[in-house]
Structure formats: structure tokens, C-alpha cells
Amino acid sequence: MAKGKRAIIKDALVDQLENQGVIGRHFYDLIEDYLQLWDIKNSLINDIKERGVSVYWENSPTQFGFKKNDSVTELLKVSAQMLKILQQLNLRVDESISDDDNDDF
């Protein structure tokens, strides 16, 4: 059975930690945090693809319009946090597996 993209990313990050000689539950927990953020990032991307960058709102028949999709702002925050975790661990994600086509998550 083929591994999903999430599992491939996890294995790559764990391998990098081990190759650096970094051992400790705290560091593996940070990788899990990164992967949780990866899941959230993909959900936000899917929401933006489905609803767009602007979403319709209506409070009453006379109060309606479009507003920004909050997923856009949240995506930027999640991506920034993911980068901070990688920097803290001195890790990188191979670009061949980190693209945003959400095939295997």
C-alpha cells in the first residue's frame, strides 16, 4: 500500500531529526504539531477552493453582501507557525512532497 503524503512528510522530518542526532519526546511532539498544522492548512486551502476568497453573508433580507473568507487570513497564520516549527528544529520539507495538491491527506 502506498504511503500518503502526510506519512511521507512525517518520515522525512523524523529522519532529519535522527540524522542530526536530536532525540527527545519534545522534538517528536513538535513534528506532530507540525503535522496537525499541515492538516489544518489543507482544510483551509480546501475551504478557499470551495467558497473562494470572498463569501456571501446575510443577516436579514435587507442586510447582506460579501466579506473576506476568514480562511485566507488563517491560512497565512498557520503557514507561518509551520515555518517557525521547522526553523526551531532546523528541518526542511522536501519540495517534491510538500506541494499543495491535497491528494493524500
Q: What is the pLDDT of residues 1-44, one digit of tens each?
A: 567 999 999 999 999 999 988 878 889 999 999 999 999 999 99
- The tally of domains found in the chain comes to 1
Whether residue 3 is contained in a domain is answered as no
Whether residue 102 is contained in a domain is answered as no
Q: Which amino acid is at 39?
A: D
Give CA–CA dist 57/65, Å, rounded. Answer: 6
pTM above 0.85, yes or no: no
Whether residue 33 is contained in a domain is answered as yes
Q: Give helix 25-51 / helix 70-89 axis angle, nearest 10°.
A: 160
User: Where in the sequence is the domain holding 76, given as residue range(s)?
Assistant: 23-89
Whether residue 46 is contained in a domain is answered as yes
Whether residue 41 is contained in a domain is answered as yes
Whether residue 49 is contained in a domain is answered as yes
Q: CA 79, 84, 85, 90: dihedral to nearest 10 degrees?
A: 130
7: left (phi over 0), alpha (psi -120 to 50) or beta: alpha
Q: Which among 84, 54, 82, 81 is positioned nearest to 68, based on CA atoms?
A: 54
Whether residue 75 is contained in a domain is answered as yes
Model confidence pLDDT, tens digit, residues 47-81? 999 999 999 999 999 999 999 999 999 999 999 99
Whether residue 13 is contained in a domain is answered as no
